[in-house]
Structure 1
Amino acid sequence: MSGVALFLYGAGVTIVVAAAVGVLVYAAVLDGRYEREMRERMRSGRPDDRYDSSRELVRS
């Protein structure tokens, strides 16, 4: 395998892995926002959907 081909293959793999990690980081950020929103709902005592300690949906 030539040096150029090996470089291009490595660059392609790096781009794919970076994109996958980016998606995972974005999902973690969104999950943190959702968790914060649920905590604020529980503190405010809104009669919306609530979550118990086992994180299962409990309808009021």
Structure 2
Amino acid sequence: MTVLRDNNDLENLLIYINKLRQDLIEVGLINGLASRETIQLSEQLDYYIIQYQRVIHKNP
């Protein structure tokens, strides 16, 4: 599990989430929504979104 120490970490996490989202859209359009790569990116994006939400709800 990733430990976020400060706002820079949280900001970097948001940047990474947005990059993953862009990658997911691109790969999904090229390879299809059921491709292995698309599903892996989707699962990775889900993981980091959940991490972000946990931090936000823990430290409002």
TM-score (ref. length: structure 1): 0.46
Bigger proportion of residues as strand = 1
Bigger proportion of residues as helix = 2
TM-score (ref. length: structure 2): 0.46
* Bigger radius of gyration: 1
